[in-house]
Amino acid sequence: MGTVRYTVDDLHNVTEIHKVVVYRFHLSDVEDTDIRAAEPIYKWEQSEQGQFVMKHAIDKPVWHKNIDHVTYSYQYVIVAELEMKKLAEFYLRFGQMGKI
């Protein structure tokens, strides 16, 4: 899964918040990968899965770029923090990382 943190409100209700990868894709070695990554990120944001995450994420989701040494490409991941109930709904509706 991802990292977990807990928040407590004024009424002493505890909320479990998970930081998870909600979308992942690869790009081959191109001249400017960040510009090329804009299209898949935009398409994900417009998808049902992306709209769900954007609506229910605690903070705005962020993307990270990593080098994938196995495939000689760049791996992009979108990470979001979701409350446990919303994360369970995400998994039930879209699977572990969903599909667009």
Q: Is the pLDDT of residue 38 over 60?
A: yes
Range of the domain at 76: 3-94
**What's the CA gap between 22 and 95, in Å, rounded?**
10
Band the pLDDT of 45: cuts 50, 70, 90: very high
Q: How confident is the model at residue 100 (pLDDT cuts 50, 70, 90)?
A: very low
Alpha-carbon dihedral of residues 81, 58, 56, 99, nearest 10 degrees? -20
> Is 100 contained in some domain?
no
* Rounded Cα distance, 42 and 45, in Å: 5
Whether 99 is in a domain gets the answer no
Identify residue 35 by its one-letter amino acid code: I
pLDDT in tens, 76-93: 999 999 999 999 999 999
Asked if 91 contacts 83 with a C-beta cutoff of 8 angstroms, the reply is no
pLDDT band, very low/low/confident/very high, at 46 (cuts 50, 70, 90): very high
Residue 59, domain member (yes or no)? yes
User: Could you tell me if residue 70 is inside a domain?
Assistant: yes
> Does residue 17 lie in a domain region?
yes
pTM of the model: 0.83
Closest CA to 1 of 58, 93, 100, 81: 81
Residue 35 domain-assigned (yes or no): yes
Instruction: Tally the domains of the chain.
Output: 1
Position 2 confidence tier, pLDDT thresholds 50, 70, 90: low
